[in-house]
């Protein structure tokens, strides 16, 4: 673990697996796990056992990181669970196209225009702030091939 291999870094995850295995007992609250094939954030974690002298089982409650839907699962603590790769990156919003696509600029200046204005409150907030001429930072959540703007933050002069 001591030396981190940085030569293969790429922005795309082409060919890479969307998940990796992890022993159930090592999962953490607020961490991620696949429940019913959906990437979830663990909001509750408890252990139980069958019979007093039985072995530990982990009871997981998670919410789908994209839909907010709740899932549960129980699994012997020795088993492996799939954990999704979850990436959250901040982008500067530069423009909104007429057909509702966002122009986003990453930290190192790369531009992308493949994401739409999200639905719901975040989208409304985003448009309102944008129309008000504010400086907007978008947090893009990416996992299991899905990608969406999950949060917006307006930069004030103070932050700069």
Contact residue for another protein among 21, 48, 72, 94 (CB under 8 A): 48
Binding residue for another protein (CB under 8 A) from 12, 98, 156, 157?
Answer: 156
> 131-150: which residues touch another protein (CB under 8 A)?
139, 150
Q: Kindly report the number of other CB atoms within 10 A of residue 108's CB atom.
A: 6
Q: Measuring CA to CA, how many Å separate 137 from each of 11, 60, 109, 125?
A: 19, 33, 14, 12
Of 98 and 144, nearer to another protein (C-beta) is 144
Residue 79, SS3 per DSSP: coil
How many CB atoms lie under 10 A from the CB of residue 39? 25
Residue 82 tokens, joined:
């799939």
**3 contributes a contact to another protein by CB under 8 A:** yes
60 near another protein (CB under 8 A): no
Tell me which residue has tokens 């549960």. 72
What is the nearest approach in angstroms of another protein to the Cβ of residue 112?
A: 17
Backbone phi, then psi, for 122, in 5-degree steps? -60, -45
**Contacting another protein (CB under 8 A), which of 112, 116, 127, 153?**
153
When asked if residue 51 is in the footprint of another protein (CB under 8 A), the reply is: yes
User: Which helix (DSSP H) or strand (DSSP E) does residue 64 occupy?
Assistant: strand 56-64
| Shortest Cβ 37–another protein spacing (Å) | 18
Q: Is 54 in the site for another protein (CB under 8 A)?
A: yes
Contacts for 9-12 with beta carbons within 8 Å, 24 or more apart? 11/110
Among the listed residues 34, 35, 38, 118, the single contact to another protein using CB under 8 A: 118
Separation of first and last alpha carbons in the chain: 35
Site residues (CB under 8 A) for another protein? Answer: 1-4, 6, 9, 20, 22-26, 28-31, 41, 43, 46-56, 63, 65, 68, 76-78, 83, 85, 87-90, 107, 118, 120-122, 125, 139, 150-156, 159
């Amino acid at each position: 673990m001591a030396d981190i291999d940085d030569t293969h870094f790429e922005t795309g995850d082409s060919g890479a697996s969307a998940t990796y295995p992890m022993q159930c007992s090592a999962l953490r609250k607020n961490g991620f796990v696949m429940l019913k094939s959906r990437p979830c954030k663990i909001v509750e974690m408890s252990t139980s056992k069958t019979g007093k002298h039985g072995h530990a089982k982990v009871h997981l409650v998670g919410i789908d990181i994209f839909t907010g839907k709740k899932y549960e699962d129980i699994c012997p603590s020795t088993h492996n669970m799939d954990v999704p790769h979850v990436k959250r990156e901040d982008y500067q919003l530069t423009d909104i196209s007429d057909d509702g696509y966002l122009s986003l600029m990453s930290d190192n200046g790369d531009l992308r225009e493949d994401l739409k204005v999200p639905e719901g409150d975040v989208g409304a907030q985003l448009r309102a702030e944008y129309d008000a001429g504010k400086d907007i930072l978008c947090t893009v959540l990416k996992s299991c091939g899905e990608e969406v703007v999950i949060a917006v933050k307006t930069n004030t002069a103070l932050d700069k």
